Structure formats: C-alpha cells, structure tokens
Amino acid sequence: MNSLLIFADVSSKLDPTDYVGFTFFVGSMAMMAASAFFFLSLSQFDTKWRTSILVSGLITFIAAVHYFYMRDYWFSNLESPTFFRYVDWLLTVPLMCVEFYLILKVAGAKKSLMWKLIFASVVMLVTGYFGEAVFMSQAALWGGISGLAYFYIVYEIWLGGAKKLAIAEGGDVLKSHKILCWFVLVGWAIYPLGYMLGTDGWYTSIIGTGSVDVVYNIADAINKIGFGLVIYALAVKKQAVHS
C-alpha cells in the first residue's frame, strides 16, 4: 500500500535537472532488479552457496526498500534523507561483512573474524552519523574517527586474518576475495568523499561543497550490486567445479 502511494506520488514533481531525484529513482529500480535477480537464482545453487546468494539479495532488497523511502523523502522535502540513509547502511554494511566471512568459511574462518568486521563497520557508521546529523559542527572529528574504523576494515581484509585465510584457500576464493577487497578500498572510499562534500570541516576549502546524495547513490549502486555480483560469479564457478 505504502509503496504504491510512493509510486503514484513522485512523478508529478520530476524535474529533469534534479540529479538527486533521478539517481534515487534509478537507484531504487536497480536495487529492486538486482534483488529479483539474486532471489530468483537461489534454486540453482546448492546449500553451501545459497546463503551467500541470499545475503547478496537481502543487501540489495533492504537497500531497495530504503530507496523507496529516501526517494519519497527527497521529493517531498528536497532535503537529504540522512536518517534513512544510515539505517540502510547500518543493516547492509554488516551484511557485507558477513559475506566476507561466508566465502572464507571454506578456509576455516572463525565467527570472531565476522564480529570484528561487523563491530568496526558499526563504529564507522555510528560515528559518521554523529558527524553528519547530530554533532554537525564537529563533522571533521567524527568523520576522522569513522575513517579509522574504515581503515581497520581495510587492514583486516587486505593484510590481516581475512587475507591469510583467502591465501590459504587460493583459487577462485582468493581471486574473489581480492576483488571484494578492491570494492572496499576504492568503492567504499567514495563515501567519505560524499561526506566531505556535505559537511563543513578543514577539507571544505579544498574540495568545496556538492551533492552528497548523488555521490552516495552512485556509490551504493556500485558497491551493493557489484559486490553481490562478485559473490554470484564465485558461486557459479565453484558450483561448476563440483557438479
């Protein structure tokens, strides 16, 4: 009911130069299409890979629902839907940490690895929310703390325990792990850039201001859908080896 209303509501206000609205719209459709793709492919995988694909679908599905809300919020208020944005991330980023654990489970990954990554991601997002929505005059400080948690995640997967497990497993798991690591190093680095465009700090005189939402929306499409497709490709390859 609610989502039908959202569909009906927005079209009357669409403005061709509203890039934020445009990327919210395209983003919501892309997330929905990706979710359908992952969910409908589930039956082709055996139980060992099904969980990974299910989580890929959950990530894009949770994002799709949030994008409907964010899109509506944007069209009604022409303001960043920061609250929905961070709720979305708080649910989906820990699930991406779960994905790292799931693909490394074959190499003997322990739950503690997963919890370490989840904990760091929650610290990264909560402190980011503080800077962007609560203590806005200290955005640079909170963004810096958030950045430390981000670098911890980068360290753990590129050089720490996760990396060792990926090397021990080798083959397609190592290759996919490496691609996911690039997503985190390059794809996730787009977010702090958006944050700096939308908040005031020492960086403002260097990079100026801009639309946070366009940057976040592009980053989300790359990171949520692309990340899921890497997992999907790995599952397809592993499945072909076994059957």
| Residues found near ligand RET in the complex (CB under 6 A) | 89, 92-93, 124-125, 128, 143, 146-147, 150, 188, 191-192, 195, 220, 223-224
As a whole number of angstroms, the distance between CA 28 and CA 149 comes to 28
Taking the complex as a whole, the smallest distance from the CB of residue 196 to ligand RET amounts, in Å, to 8
Q: Which is nearer to ligand RET, 106 or 207 (CB)?
A: 207
Positive or negative, the CA dihedral 134, 61, 192, 152 is positive
As a whole number of angstroms, the distance between CA 195 and CA 207 comes to 11
As a whole number of angstroms, the distance between CA 61 and CA 39 comes to 9
Taking the complex as a whole, the smallest distance from the CB of residue 79 to ligand RET amounts, in Å, to 18
Q: Which is nearer to ligand RET, 81 or 143 (CB)?
A: 143
Q: How many CB atoms lie within 10 A of CB 211?
A: 15
Taking the complex as a whole, the smallest distance from the CB of residue 12 to ligand RET amounts, in Å, to 30
Q: Which is nearer to ligand RET, 74 or 188 (CB)?
A: 188
Nearest to 160 by CA among 184, 142, 144: 184
Q: Which is nearer to ligand RET, 173 or 212 (CB)?
A: 212
Q: Which is nearer to ligand RET, 217 or 238 (CB)?
A: 217
Taking the complex as a whole, the smallest distance from the CB of residue 239 to ligand RET amounts, in Å, to 26
- Residue identified by tokens 């680095």 is 189
Q: How many CB atoms lie within 10 A of CB 23?
A: 23
Q: Which residue is nearest to ligand RET (CB)?
A: 128
